[in-house]
Amino acid sequence: KNEVEQSPQNLTAQEGEFITINCSYSVGISALHWLQQHPGGGIVSLFMLSSGKKKHGRLIATINIQEKHSSLHITASHPRDSAVYICAVQWHSGGYQKVTFGTGTKLQVIP
């Protein structure tokens, strides 16, 4: 079983601040996903990573395979970034791909 831990669980930031959300996992993976869950419940895939770094607008995701750790950064945060951010890892078990999700980081950005 792959244990996935996210930190912090809750985060409040002022508009414009630089935000970092962390994700650690216990077993080697084939890919890591960052997801965004809006207050209404809908879930959107932000990134899928297997190595290195990806950038999309103000969002940057990095992964360190050796340290089993990924970070999601938000630059110049805005109230519309308020959401729950979920880390999910894909990993092999018994010849199959499994997915394990973190419990999420609830971000609130205050104007």
Contact residues: other proteins, CB under 8 A: 30-31, 33, 35, 41-45, 48, 50, 86, 88, 90, 96-104
- Taken as a whole, the chain contains a residue count of 111
Shortest Cβ 17–other proteins spacing (Å): 25
Q: Which is nearer to other proteins, 77 or 86 (CB)?
A: 86
Shortest Cβ 89–other proteins spacing (Å): 10
Sheet strands side by side (includes 59-64): 4-7, 19-25, 69-74, 59-64, 52-56
Q: Which is nearer to other proteins, 33 or 77 (CB)?
A: 33
The Cα–Cα gap between 80 and 83 comes to 8
Q: Which is nearer to other proteins, 34 or 81 (CB)?
A: 34
Q: Are 32 and 89 in contact (CB under 8 A)?
A: yes
Q: Tokens for 62?
A: 């990095």
Q: Which is nearer to other proteins, 13 or 85 (CB)?
A: 85
Shortest Cβ 6–other proteins spacing (Å): 9
- DSSP 8-state class, residue 27: S
Shortest Cβ 88–other proteins spacing (Å): 7
Amino acid found at 70: S
